[in-house]
């Protein structure tokens, strides 16, 4: 059951929402993570389970990556889970493995692009299912032109390299 | 604002073959300033242009850099960075939520922050601007952004008027980012995280850098559309000039 939600602006282009859910705290990260982002108020979550939701992160730059890596390194004793990671976060997880730290990645959005109309859409995929050998759909139906020609934008093995 | 093309030193050697980005980065880190990954090898037209440039001691201009529809913008302040990137995306008719919009946004952000915070040095040789400060560039320091789109991809270039980017720095950057997979990938000192060039190299199909100690650094990139993208096809070329020659 959800309890109190707190919204914490850290600057004009990033904030996060905290919600208590059963035995964990869910933190929705929203906006641009960069050198101005301050995660220090989240350090009170040390030693407790935290679920970070990345769905609404719109951009992260290299200083933002460093800020994040240093933050989760300090979040000692916590069980961390990442959910709904968009492609821009998956890219960081593949390029900078310390971005994940000791966290478990639960789900990621896989990007698809339509051969017919160039429409793009993301499909949420369970990383646990993928690790168990669950197939990644090679094609899906385009919600724009309804063709069945929507293909994954990239290579599944490379995209899920972080899940090794 | 264009960099002088004459009297450039061309760093060698060059490598042509079929590489992963990681293999390519390893070659660059070990001194390869010109690298082309292509299934047709030396028959690739871009390879010919690179070799002609090396022979003639000038920097190459590649077809992906050239268009009659190239737009230009100047950046004069760090505060204007995000607004400027949004303007570039708008003029390229890209949403930042799209795959290509995200690539262009991320690459431009990294190239602009490198230019603002690392290109300009004080008389003692230290970086002039601090990352956490709001920076107003001097008129002679303004950064030129060029961009265009075509049916096969997107062009982006960023030019500053700073100290230039030495090939040794490029090599060290690639060594650090590709040789390790732990936190040592990231620079811990105040300032940049040292991931910018690594990020752009991973995202772009073609990269060309011209560094000139007296005139600054020009970084040009090409991003292939999903329809034309081939992970085996990419290039990296670094040209360094010296006015004294």
Summarize the confidence of residues B75-94 as an average pLDDT: 95
Cα separation, B144 vs A55, in Å, equals: 33
| pLDDT, tens digit, 9 for 90 and up, residues B87-136 | 999 999 999 888 899 999 999 999 999 999 999 998 888 888 987 788 99
Summarize the confidence of residues A1-21 as an average pLDDT: 80
Is the confidence at residue B6, as pLDDT, over 50?
Answer: no
Question: What is the three-class DSSP state of A104?
Answer: strand
Is the confidence at residue B138, as pLDDT, over 90?
Answer: yes
Judged by a CB distance cut-off of 8 A, whether residue A11 touches chain B is: no
Summarize the confidence of residues A80-102 as an average pLDDT: 94
What are the residue ranges spanned by the domains of chain A?
6-105
Q: Name which of B113, B131, B183 is nearest A98 (Cβ-Cβ).
A: B183
CATH class, domain A6-105, is: alpha beta
Radius of gyration of chain A (CA): 17
From the list A58, A158, A49, the residue with the least C-alpha distance to A106 is A49
Site from B25, B85, B106, B184 to mutate, A interface, most A CB atoms within 10 angstroms: B106
Judged by a CB distance cut-off of 8 A, whether residue B231 touches chain A is: yes
Is the confidence at residue B243, as pLDDT, over 50?
Answer: no
| Residues recorded for chain B | 245
Interface of A with B in 77-136 (CB under 8 A): 87-88, 91, 95-98, 111, 113, 115, 120
Is the confidence at residue B17, as pLDDT, over 70?
Answer: yes
Summarize the confidence of residues B208-237 as an average pLDDT: 92
Residue A110 near residue A159, CB atoms below 8 Å: yes
Give the closest-approach CA distance of B98 to chain A in angstroms. Answer: 7
| pLDDT, tens digit, 9 for 90 and up, residues B188-206 | 766 777 888 999 999 999 9
Cα dihedral A68→B97→B144→B119 (10° resolution): 10
Would the CB atoms of A65 and B186 count as touching at under 8 Å?
A: yes
Is the confidence at residue B168, as pLDDT, over 60?
Answer: yes
Chain pair A-B, CB pairs under 8 angstroms? 68
DSSP label at residue B128:
S
User: How many separate helices (H) and strands (E) can be counted in chain A?
Assistant: 4, 10
Task: Estimate the share of chain B in helix, then strand, then coil, as percent rounded to the nearest 5.
Answer: 35, 25, 40
- ipTM surpassing 0.90, yes or no? no
Q: What is the pLDDT of residue B211?
A: 94
Q: What is the pLDDT of residue B245?
A: 29
Give the closest-approach CA distance of A19 to chain B in angstroms. Answer: 26
Q: Among A34-38, A48-52, A96-100, B131-135, where is mean pLDDT lowest?
A: B131-135
Q: What is the pLDDT of residue B8?
A: 53
Would the CB atoms of B185 and A98 count as touching at under 8 Å?
A: yes
Report pTM: 0.89
Mean pLDDT estimate for chain A: 90
């Amino acid at each position: 059951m959800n309890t109190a939600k707190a919204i914490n602006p850290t600057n004009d282009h990033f904030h996060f929402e905290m919600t208590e859910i059963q035995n964990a705290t869910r933190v929705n990260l929203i906006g641009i993570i960069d050198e101005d982002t301050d995660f220090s108020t989240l350090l009170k979550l040390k030693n407790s389970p935290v679920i970070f939701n990345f769905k609404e992160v719109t951009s992260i730059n290299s200083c933002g990556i460093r800020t994040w890596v240093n933050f989760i390194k300090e979040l000692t004793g916590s069980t961390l889970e990442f959910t709904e990671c968009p492609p821009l976060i998956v890219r960081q997880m593949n390029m900078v493995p310390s971005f994940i730290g000791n966290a478990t990645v639960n789900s990621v959005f896989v990007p698809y692009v339509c051969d017919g109309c160039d429409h793009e859409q993301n499909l949420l995929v369970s990383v646990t299912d993928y690790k168990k050998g669950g197939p990644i759909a090679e094609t899906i139906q385009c919600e724009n032109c309804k063709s069945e020609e929507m293909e994954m934008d990239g290579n599944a093995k490379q995209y899920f390299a972080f899940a090794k | 604002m264009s960099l002088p093309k004459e009297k450039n030193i061309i760093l060698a050697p060059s490598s042509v073959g079929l590489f992963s980005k990681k293999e390519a980065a390893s070659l660059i880190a070990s001194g390869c300033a010109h690298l082309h990954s292509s299934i047709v090898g030396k028959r690739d037209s871009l390879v010919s242009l690179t070799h002609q440039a090396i022979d003639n001691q000038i920097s190459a201009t590649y077809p992906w850099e050239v268009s009659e529809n190239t737009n230009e913008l100047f950046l004069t302040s760090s505060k204007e960075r995000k607004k400027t990137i949004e303007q570039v995306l708008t003029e390229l008719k890209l949403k930042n939520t799209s795959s290509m919009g995200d690539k262009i946004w991320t690459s431009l952000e990294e190239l602009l922050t490198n230019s603002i915070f690392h290109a300009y040095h004080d008389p003692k040789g230290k970086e002039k601007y601090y990352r956490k400060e709001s920076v107003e560039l001097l008129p002679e320091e303004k950064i030129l952004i060029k961009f265009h789109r075509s049916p096969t991809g997107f062009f982006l270039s960023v030019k500053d008027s700073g100290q230039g980017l030495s090939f040794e720095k490029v090599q060290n950057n690639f060594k650090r980012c590709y040789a390790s997979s732990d936190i040592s990938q990231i620079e811990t000192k105040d300032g940049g995280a040292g991931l910018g060039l690594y990020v752009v190299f991973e995202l772009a199909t073609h990269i060309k850098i011209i560094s000139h100690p007296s005139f600054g650094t020009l970084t040009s990139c090409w991003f292939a559309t999903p329809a034309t993208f081939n992970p085996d096809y990419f290039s990296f070329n670094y040209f360094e000039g010296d006015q004294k020659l």
